[in-house]
Amino acid sequence: MMREAFAGLAAVQAPFVFTQSNLQDFDRCPRRFYLRWIARIEWPQTALSRDHEMDLLHRSRFHRLVQQWLLNISVSHIIESEPADSPLRLWWQAFLDHPPSLPAGPRFPEVELAAPMGEHVLLARMDLLAVEPRRRLTIFDWKTGLFYPQLDQLRESWQTVVYRYLAVEAGAPYFGEPAVPADAVEMIYWFSEYPATPLILPYSAEEHASAKERLRERIAHIASLPADGFTPCEDERTCVLCPYWGYCGRSKSEEVLAGADITAGQADEWDWSDIPEFEY
Binding site for ligand SF4 (CB under 6 A): 29, 31-32, 35, 232-233, 238-239, 242, 244-245, 248, 250
Please tell me what DSSP assigns to residue 35: I
Which of 129, 260 has the CB closer to ligand SF4? 260
Which of 37, 147 has the CB closer to ligand SF4? 37
**Residue 43 Cα distances to 39, 69, 243, 244, 248, angstroms:** 11, 30, 7, 7, 14
Which of 136, 237 has the CB closer to ligand SF4? 237
Q: Do the beta carbons of residue 163 and residue 206 sit within 8 Å?
A: no
Which of 20, 138 has the CB closer to ligand SF4? 20
Question: Least distance to ligand SF4 from the beta carbon of 58, Å?
Answer: 23
Question: Least distance to ligand SF4 from the beta carbon of 124, Å?
Answer: 24
Q: Do the beta carbons of residue 44 and residue 244 sit within 8 Å?
A: yes
Which of 37, 91 has the CB closer to ligand SF4? 37
Question: Least distance to ligand SF4 from the beta carbon of 71, Å?
Answer: 37
Which of 208, 250 has the CB closer to ligand SF4? 250
Question: Least distance to ligand SF4 from the beta carbon of 90, Å?
Answer: 30
The alpha carbon of 42 is separated from its chain's Cα centroid by a whole number of angstroms, namely 19
Closest by alpha carbon to 199, among 168, 160, 158, 228? 160
Question: Least distance to ligand SF4 from the beta carbon of 33, Å?
Answer: 8
Which of 70, 233 has the CB closer to ligand SF4? 233
Question: Least distance to ligand SF4 from the beta carbon of 232, Å?
Answer: 3
Question: Least distance to ligand SF4 from the beta carbon of 40, Å?
Answer: 14
**Residue 190 Cα distances to 63, 102, 118, 260, angstroms:** 12, 11, 33, 26
d(CA 184, CA 135): 6
Give me the DSSP letters along 99-168. Answer: ---PPSS-EEEEEEEEEEETTEEEEEEEEEEEEETTTEEEEEEEE--S----HHHHHHSHHHHHHHHHHH
Question: Least distance to ligand SF4 from the beta carbon of 156, Å?
Answer: 21
d(CA 203, CA 222): 26
> Residue 37 burial by CB count (10 A; 0-12/13-18/19+): exposed, middle or buried?
buried
Which of 32, 59 has the CB closer to ligand SF4? 32
Q: How far apart are the first and last CA of the chain?
A: 32
